[in-house]
């Protein structure tokens, strides 16, 4: 099955996913994921099921998935980025999820990155939100609108720099919140 949109919250850092039994799986186009951590198996599973022309995927993973280089994860991440599939990373604040204290991030992959193939958008939301209690944080409606509006302005700019239907929204880098980074800078 191929899908235009995939949204998921897979189990973070799953170490008991029987990866050794799936070494020759067709989904591992960008490298064989480590048997001790399913994060990069999930990513490649989503890519495999994205429709070829306009597939997009958004999912939550542990923040460690952004920097891990163990057991081929760094090479897989590099191959996915070089293939032009990574569209955006959203760095989430701590205490956002009730079921884990592991820092998390959102990944957005896209096969329709017209005009953005050589860039990735990074959004840092660590300074947004408010504490519900000492162990739990939440976003306000305004926080969610700011994050979503920034990503939508990045994805769907009109020729005037505005997305149709969103008066006043155009993408621009905001220090401390968002930045579009060229692949050359990511390579460095």
Contacts of 97 (CB under 8 A, 6+ apart): 104
User: How confident is the prediction for the chain on average, in pLDDT?
Assistant: 89
Q: CA nearest 183: which of 92, 112, 39, 85?
A: 85
pLDDT value for 163:
44
Residue 92 φ then ψ, to 5°: -90, 155
pLDDT value for 169:
65
pLDDT value for 58:
96
Question: What CA–CA distance (Å, rounded) separates 35 from 38?
Answer: 7
Contacts of 16 (CB under 8 A, 6+ apart): none
pLDDT value for 76:
95
Tokens of 79: 């191959």
SS3 content of the chain, % helix, strand, coil (to 5): 30, 25, 50
* pLDDT of the chain, 188 residues: tens digit per residue: 999 999 999 988 888 887 778 888 999 999 999 888 999 999 999 999 999 989 999 999 999 899 888 888 999 999 999 999 999 999 999 999 888 778 899 999 999 888 888 999 999 999 999 999 988 999 999 999 999 999 999 987 655 544 444 555 688 999 999 999 999 999 88
Pairing of strands 5-8, 56-62: parallel
Question: What CA–CA distance (Å, rounded) separates 150 from 158?
Answer: 14
């Amino acid at each position: 099955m191929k899908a235009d949109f995939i949204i998921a919250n897979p189990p973070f850092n799953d170490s008991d996913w029987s990866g050794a039994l799936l070494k020759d799986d067709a989904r591992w186009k960008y490298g064989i994921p480590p048997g001790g951590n399913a994060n990069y198996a999930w990513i490649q599973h989503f890519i495999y099921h994205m429709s070829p022309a306009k597939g997009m995927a958004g999912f939550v993973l542990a923040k460690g998935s952004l920097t891990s280089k163990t057991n081929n994860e760094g090479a897989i991440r590099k191959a996915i980025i070089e293939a032009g599939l990574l569209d955006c990373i959203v760095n989430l604040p701590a205490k956002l999820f009730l079921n884990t204290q592991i820092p998390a991030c959102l990944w957005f992959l896209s096969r329709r990155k017209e005009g953005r193939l050589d860039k990735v958008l990074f959004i840092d939301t660590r300074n947004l939100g408010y504490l519900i209690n000492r162990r739990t944080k939440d976003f306000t409606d305004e926080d969610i609108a700011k994050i979503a509006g920034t990503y939508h302005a990045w994805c769907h700019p009109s020729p005037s720099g505005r997305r149709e239907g969103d008066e006043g929204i155009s993408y621009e880098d905001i220090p401390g919140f968002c930045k579009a980074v060229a692949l050359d800078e990511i390579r460095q």
